[in-house]
Amino acid sequence: MKKTFAIFEKEFKSFFYSPMAYVVIGIFTALTGVFFYLYLSNFVESAFMDQMRAQQYRQMPQKFNVNLMLIRPYFWNIALISLFTLPTITMRLFSEEKKQGTVELLYTSPVQSIYIILGKFFAGLAFYITLLIPTMIFQAILFIYGDPEFLPVLSGYIGLVFLGSAFISVGLFISTMTENQIIAAIGGFALSLFLWVIGWASSYAGPTLAPVFEYISIIGHFEDFAQGVIDSANVAYYILFSVLGIYLSLKSIESVKWRT
Amino acid sequence: MIEVKELTRYYGQKKAISDVSFKVNKGEIVGLLGPNAAGKTTTMRILTCFMPPTSGTATIGGFDIFEQSMEIRQITGYLPENPPLYSDLVVEDYLNFVAKLKGVESSRLKSEVDLAIEKASVGDVRTRVIGKLSKGYKQRVGLAQSLLNNPQVVIFDEPTVGLDPKQIIEIRELIRNLKGEHTVILSSHILPEVEQTCERVVIISDGVVVAEDTPENLTARMRGAERVLVEVEGLEKDVRNALKSLPDILTIHVEKQIDKVLQLVIESKSDLRKEIARKIVENKIGLLEIQSDKLTLEDIFLDLTTKEEEA
């Protein structure tokens, strides 16, 4: 456990030693910021238009729901940006160690492989949560000037963390297989994207396969979180997904040890 | 302390090492000597539990590499050929990290790291970023890493490769100082290094152990006996007749013959240069040259590791 924490600590710090982390944080914050601004402007505009209309016809203005019109689509947006961003975080987790030869240190240290993987997995997750902090600041603005419901926001973030952990486990797995960070990033992205869009295939699939595709889809389970519902089935899906990713990473490491 | 039993390892179809067996006693410094791609790194990687052998097994400190790999890792320090360094970490942070990986308790962490820094003399760079260090210092940081948590067994894979002569001497000195306290295996393809630092040498060539002994014994045993190189003008039969009466002679072997000039190698139990010269001259054979043939570890190494074309 202590060793897992040592790996976690080192890995998390290492993110910030390389310029990559700042680029990723910068781009992520800029993109989520732009989208927040666009959604907010859109919301304010439609609310304003409605007020004008109401005055014209001497009616009570409609009450606009911030959660429904702004926060929910915004969470989808963050999820989409995460899809593109997370592979750049996970790509280095194992690939860099392989490239630099430090795997020899890790694999010959008295640490079981699973603890190495867990340390790295949680470091990735912690970095992702760091990425989300600016978006929390954006949303805090809404609470200052408006009165959105708090719980859907909280559940949205919980959902994002679960979704992120699924993406990270995918990226981690791909990273164990190559010493090339670019390949790790592209592979991680491609697999994540595939798992995202597989849900779309359900509309064309037959009655037996459709629910399967829908269930596998990584994003299908996010919907409820964004709406403010924490369903244990969705939580279970993401946890199982991450555990599977971690398990495959473990098997990948062990098989590489036996092969090379 | 270390017992290697018939290790064999394939990479795909290619056999990297075959039936490698040797023993290392506690506190000894043993050199694995061999040309490049002889299987030294493979052997070391198996011993450090980085990868398993295809067949055979080994024990370190009584622990089996298959069954008790965690125990072996706990008592073994390893410096791979490329020191496993995180170039973006500061030396001290790196050593702290490795110490934690090795399970050093937080109360002993500082003293352990300080000790390793002292042993590898990297004190002047302890607050510098590893990526910015020279090759020599990187190697030493790698060395410091392998000495953390006072391992009973230390395994160095080509510890002096790529260093300048002064650094090489320092590293060798450092390794010699580990004697007694730690059991050391080091690999090298440089002979003087092994001759200077090791008490015993295991020579590996093409994945097979071809010799195992102390550098001195190895030289002596390889020589087998005193060898004398003689060049005469005459017939082989006459020479054999002439030397028949010397009982200590073991073999007479014609190396080369150019017209009437014969080059012979004579092996004997003791130094017989005087007697051989006298007998040859007494029998009226023209003696052109006589010299004692001294083998260095270099010759032995070449002899053992070069494939004979004619064979």
> Other C-beta atoms within 10 Å of A182: how many?
10
Reported pTM: 0.82
Contacts of residue B163, defined as CB under 8 A and 6 or more positions apart, other chains included, come to B135, B136, B139, B171
Q: In chain A, which residues touch B (CB < 8 A)?
A: 2-3, 6-7, 9-10, 13-14, 17-18, 100-112, 257-258, 260
* Chain segment B81-92, per-residue pLDDT in tens: 889 999 889 999
Q: What percent of chain B is modeled with pLDDT above 90?
A: 24
Contacts of residue A16, defined as CB under 8 A and 6 or more positions apart, other chains included, come to A22
Residues of B in contact with A13 (CB under 8 A): 93
- What's the CATH code, domain B225-293? 3.30.70.260
At B219 the pLDDT is 64
Whether the predicted pLDDT of A132 surpasses 50: yes
Cα separations (Å) of A131 from A15, A61, A151, B193? Answer: 12, 38, 21, 52
* Chain segment A41-99, per-residue pLDDT in tens: 988 888 888 888 888 888 877 777 778 788 888 999 999 999 999 999 999 999 999 99
Pairs of residues, one from chain A and one from chain B, whose beta carbons lie less than 8 Å apart:
76
Is B84's CB within 8 Å of A103's CB? yes
List the one residue out of A157, A98, A94, A95 whose CA is nearest residue A128.
Answer: A157
Is A260's CB within 8 Å of B51's CB? yes
Q: Smallest CA–CA separation between A26 and chain B, in Å?
A: 21
Q: Percent helix, strand and coil across chain B, each rounded to 5?
A: 35, 30, 30
Helix (H, G, I), strand (E, B) or coil at B259: coil
Q: Smallest CA–CA separation between B248 and chain A, in Å?
A: 54
Burial A213-229 (b: 16+ CB within 10 A, else e): bbebbbbbbbbbbbbbe
List the one residue out of A123, A134, A167, A170 whose CA is nearest residue A16.
Answer: A123
Name the residue facing A101 among B70, B73, B82 (closest C-beta).
Answer: B82
ipTM of the complex: 0.85
Residue A241 near residue A168, CB atoms below 8 Å: no
Whether the predicted pLDDT of A257 surpasses 70: no
Helix (H, G, I), strand (E, B) or coil at B55: strand
Q: Smallest CA–CA separation between B89 and chain A, in Å?
A: 8
Q: In chain B, which residues touch A (CB < 8 A)?
A: 11, 45, 48-52, 70-71, 73-74, 76, 78, 80, 82-89, 93, 97-98, 100-103, 145
Q: Smallest CA–CA separation between A242 and chain B, in Å?
A: 25
Name the residue facing B70 among A7, A106, A110 (closest C-beta).
Answer: A110
> Which H or E element spans position B225?
none
Is A3's CB within 8 Å of B78's CB? no
Chain mean pLDDT for chain A: 89
At B220 the pLDDT is 64
At B260 the pLDDT is 82
At A258 the pLDDT is 63
Q: Looking at domain B2-213, which of 3.40.1130.10, 3.40.30.10, 3.40.50.300, 3.90.180.10 is its CATH number?
A: 3.40.50.300
Q: What ranges do the domains of chain B cover?
A: 2-213, 225-293
At B309 the pLDDT is 41
Whether the predicted pLDDT of B142 surpasses 70: yes
Residue type, B234: G
**What integer is the mean pLDDT of B258-275?**
81
Is B100's CB within 8 Å of A2's CB? yes
Whether the predicted pLDDT of B94 surpasses 90: yes
Cα separations (Å) of B219 from B200, B226, B228? Answer: 12, 11, 16
Q: What percent of chain A is modeled with pLDDT above 90?
A: 53
Task: Name the closest residue on chain A to residue B69, using Cα atoms.
Answer: A110
Q: Smallest CA–CA separation between B305 and chain A, in Å?
A: 25
**What integer is the mean pLDDT of B130-147?**
91
At B176 the pLDDT is 86
- Dist. CA A134–CA A154, nearest whole Å: 15
Identify the burial level of A50 via C-beta atoms within 10 angstroms of its C-beta, where 0-12 means exposed, 13-18 middle and 19 or more buried. Answer: middle
At B300 the pLDDT is 67
At A71 the pLDDT is 87
List the one residue out of A163, A153, A160, A164 whose CA is nearest residue A70.
Answer: A153
At A121 the pLDDT is 96
Whether the predicted pLDDT of B310 surpasses 70: no
Is A108's CB within 8 Å of B102's CB? no
* Chain segment B215-249, per-residue pLDDT in tens: 777 766 655 556 788 888 888 888 888 888 887 77
In this prediction, residue B311 has a pLDDT band, given cuts at 50, 70 and 90, of very low
- Dist. CA B63–CA B71, nearest whole Å: 7
At B225 the pLDDT is 59
Q: Percent helix, strand and coil across chain A, each rounded to 5?
A: 85, 0, 15
